[in-house]
Amino acid sequence: MADIADIAHKADVALTGDMLIGSASVPAAGATMRALNPATGREIEPPFALGGAAEVDRAARLADEAFDSYNRTGLDERAAFLELIADRLDAVNGELAERTALETGLPAAQLSAEAAKAAGQFRQFADVVRQGRFRHATVDPAQPERQPRPRTDHRMQKIAIGPVAVFGASNFPISYSVAGGDTASALAAGAPVILKAHNAHPGSSELQARAIRSAVADSGLHEGVFSMVRGAGNEIGEALVDHPLIKAVTFTGSEAGGMALYRRAQLRPDPIPVFAEMTSVNPTFVLPSALAARGAEVGDGFAERMLVNVGQACLKPAILLAIDGPGYAGMREAAVARAGAMDARTMLTPGIHDAYERGARRLRDAGAASLVEGPEPRGTWEGRSRLLEVDGDRFLAEPALAGEVFGPSALLVRLTGMDQLLEVARSFRGQLSAAMHIDEPDHADAARLLPILERRTGRIVVNAFAHPQEVAHATIHGGPFPATTDSRFTSVGMTAIDRFLRPVTYQGFPDALLPEALSAGNPLGLWRLTDGYLSRD
């Protein structure tokens, strides 16, 4: 294995620490920061420039200048641009994985796979763009003979909402960050992106941003299609949300952070949408027949998925619920064995580690009993695995027990019967996902549980766990508040593009002025809704 210093040198070769605003590399005018290796506690070179409102204004003005031309790019041109981003990400995969590993403590092999997934998302969105269905092209032809009043020609398509501010996330430093699904779906929609890099992985962010910026230049696009800024504290984020040229915001993180941005955006003279993905415990319900047949298998699988990424995943299954009866003891013992054997591992940042310790104390203070703790941590910011248990009455009486603990901790809830299971299910707030483990004899009970879960989540999983998830056309990564600020949309999957689109109707237009997607004869060969029927006419 390469020496850490050698890896750091290789990964730093292309890094300047500049912000990337359009085609310009913007060095520090004042304050700087360095990345922290959470495994060693050491700072990593180089220093990174910190900006503020002036840099946001510069990036926003460029994005606004870029909007009209970029929003009107042809489908093939835009798809080719997205594919070029994917190629550029693949070209720096090794360097990106190594640098990100230094800044996060996550394994380089895992991060290489994450980088490949990020590149794959850009290729998937390129396919979405080429097919053109995201335009929702709709044609209601003129009916001049209609009585009592003729109908004029109406044609509708969806266009990009405007420049989008994307807040990079901490927990998936590539696929939810600079080169993540928010950036990919916004660019696919035709929206220029201003990316606020997360300060936990500035070198990783710069490598991703340089890959995207090079694709912008080599595609012959306006430089304002993509910029990356960075700042200390809240100033730069507030400047992004406040800027009048920004028309939408995406965020992945805590409920407090997401709601602060959401409320600020609603106080603008022109309120804008904030698509925030915030908090979820992804409850897993094990119904009696499945519990009796394979309780130990479910318990082991639950704990294994809970521990992935040191529990730092928005889809971590965090609460396991079952009726005390045949199979419950085996489920508990298997989960205890898996959680108790896991060595403590480095968490992403000191702040996340400290919040994890506070969350674990909150569960104990609310009455949860400790079943097991993993081996003692050896490093300052290592997260120790924990499994706790509580009965259904206590869970219902203490809302704090249903709160997210971001890290390698989970809660077992021991229930008295199906009526209490349904009562507990109704007590949950909005979730990104929920899971049911069932066998055929459980189907009647599952049918009672299902409508409760449908009202509280965007994805329901049967006989598996919420994490991981596929990035696909049917994927939904969203749910009712506080999982997200808008349950009508997803932040993962191909329909994530819908967040950045709005409809425009063109009434009585001469064909020469119509957008290509709506032209007579359908030159793009799109599926269009014509007089209420899908066709390619």
What is the H or E stretch that residue 411 is in? strand 409-415
Bridge partners for 535 per DSSP: 528
- The whole-number average pLDDT for the span 389-395 is 98
Band (pLDDT 50/70/90 cuts) for residue 7 is very low
Per the structure, the count of domains in the chain is: 2
Q: What share of the chain is helix, strand, coil (3-state, %, to 5)?
A: 45, 20, 35
Q: What is the per-residue pLDDT across 406-436, written as a single tens digit (0 to 9) for each?
A: 999 999 999 999 999 999 999 999 999 999 9
Residues 334 and 219 in one domain: no
The chain-wide mean pLDDT, for the chain, equals 95
- Asked, for residue 358, whether it belongs to a domain, the answer is yes
pLDDT at 450: 98
Residues 200 and 294 in one domain: no
DSSP assignment letter at 108: H
pLDDT at 1: 30
| 347 CB-near residues (< 8 Å, 6+ apart) | 38, 105, 310, 312, 353, 356, 381, 382, 383, 407
Residues 439 and 404 in one domain: yes
Domain at 367, CATH number: 3.40.309.10
* 45, pLDDT greater than 80: yes
pTM: 0.95
Active-site choice (223, 314, 382, 404): 314
423, 395 Cβ separation under 8 angstroms: no
Residues 91 and 136 in one domain: yes
Residues 69 and 172 in one domain: yes
31, 199 Cβ separation under 8 angstroms: no
114 catalytic, yes or no? no
Residues 292 and 274 in one domain: no
pLDDT at 30: 84
Looking from the CA of 517 toward its CB, the CA atoms found within 13 Å total 27
**Positive or negative CA dihedral for 491, 230, 225, 156?**
positive
pLDDT at 469: 85
DSSP assignment letter at 373: E
* 332, pLDDT greater than 90: yes
* 159, pLDDT greater than 80: yes
CA atoms of 212 and 235, how far apart (whole Å): 25
Residues 214 and 260 in one domain: yes
What is the H or E stretch that residue 165 is in? strand 164-167
Active-site choice (95, 114, 223, 277): 277
Amino acid type, 22: G
Q: What is the per-residue pLDDT across 133-154, written as a single tens digit (0 to 9) for each?
A: 999 999 999 999 999 999 999 9
- The whole-number average pLDDT for the span 438-443 is 98
Q: Tell me how crowded residue 291 is: count the other CB atoms within 10 A of its CB.
A: 26
Residues 310 and 179 in one domain: no
* 2, pLDDT greater than 90: no
Query: Which of left, alpha, beta for 369 (phi over 0: left; psi -120 to 50: alpha)?
Result: beta
- The whole-number average pLDDT for the span 248-254 is 96
Q: What is the per-residue pLDDT across 191-223, written as a single tens digit (0 to 9) for each?
A: 999 999 999 999 999 999 999 999 999 999 999
Bridge partners for 268 per DSSP: none
Q: Tell me how crowded residue 532 is: count the other CB atoms within 10 A of its CB.
A: 7
145 catalytic, yes or no? no
Residues 264 and 336 in one domain: no
Residues 349 and 240 in one domain: no
Domain at 246, CATH number: 3.40.605.10
Task: Please list the alpha-helical segments (H only) found in 105-189.
Answer: 108-131, 181-189
Domain range for residue 330?
284-462
Band (pLDDT 50/70/90 cuts) for residue 523 is very high
Per-residue burial over 324-335, b if 16 or more Cβ lie within 10 Å, else e, is eeebbebbbebb
- The whole-number average pLDDT for the span 349-355 is 96
Residues of the chain above pLDDT 90, percent: 95
